[in-house]
Amino acid sequence: MISPSSPNTRSPSLGRRTLGVALVAASLCAGCTAPLEEPAETNAPFDFSLTHTGPLDVIAQLGDAPAVGVDVIVRRPADPGRPQPGILARGTTDAEGHVRLPVTLRAADEEVEIVMNKAGLRGPYGNPSLRDTFGAFAPSAWFRAPASSIEGLVVPFEEVQ
């Protein structure tokens, strides 16, 4: 006599389950043998890169002279209602008013925010009301630039009291 715990005992539902799994697997594999369609041809360029590293090249000018020692910060613009994104690059202008920094941008980045500061200097603002809002704590310059043209920026400054 065979006991219920014997390995030779088969449940009728086990056979049905095995048959069901086999049928599902066969139906899935049937689609694997269908011929592939050729993709539509396009002449549009396609870029696989997710990021691009390029130089930020800024010259700070005070009239006809270089603006030396101006702190330069490059960051992604903040989206309304979201925290301020991190800094992409940071540097200081040299004796010629020049700073060149590597900046890594995402492929979707269309513009960057450039913040420049040195006590006693005043430069361009993309949103002049921010200068009034921050008052004495406002940086010298704060503007956005297209990500495609951050090389060769010339930023004019004037002295202020």
The predicted-structure confidence for 113-142, as pLDDT tens digits, reads as follows: 999 999 999 999 998 898 999 998 999 999
- Radius of gyration, CA atoms only, the chain: 32
Domain region containing 153: 53-159
Q: Is residue 34 part of a domain?
A: no
pLDDT at position 37 over 90: no
pLDDT one-digit tens code per residue, 42-87: 676 655 667 778 888 999 999 999 999 999 999 988 777 767 778 9
H or E element at residue 155: strand 151-159
Q: Is residue 86 part of a domain?
A: yes
H or E element at residue 57: strand 51-62
Q: Is residue 23 part of a domain?
A: no
Looking at the structure of the chain, the number of domains it has is: 1
Q: Is residue 4 part of a domain?
A: no
CATH at residue 132: 2.60.40.10
